Amino acid sequence: MTRRPLEILDQALNGQPVIVSLKGGREIRGILQGYDVHMNLVLDNAEEEINGNIQKHGILIVRGDNVIYLSPSVE
């Protein structure tokens, strides 16, 4: 049976970190808390590396049209 993208996102709601690659070369890492049909994402404990420093954002909403991909994070 063919899986749909939103079904795959459901599997990422497991409390494990994910990496979200965004347009403009940014990558954000955090715990996926939720999403909608537009792939707007809610990340908790969100952080990104800026100029070699980790910038912590806490809870972050990422607009879906900026997302290139979402992947499980390898720690």
- Residue 54 belongs to domain spanning: 5-72
Q: What is the CATH number of the domain that holds 35?
A: 2.30.30.100
Distance of alpha carbon 16 from alpha carbon 2, whole angstroms: 24
Residue linked to tokens 């494990």: 16
Q: Could you read off the pLDDT of 35-51 as tens digits, one per residue?
A: 999 999 999 999 999 89
Q: Could you tell me which of 55, 67, 70, 56 has the C-alpha nearest to residue 18?
A: 70
In this prediction the pTM is 0.87
Q: Could you read off the pLDDT of 7-37 as tens digits, one per residue?
A: 888 888 898 999 999 999 999 999 999 999 9
Total domain count, the chain: 1
* Distance between first and last Cα of the chain: 31
62 pairs with which residues across the strands?
41
Residue linked to tokens 């607009």: 63
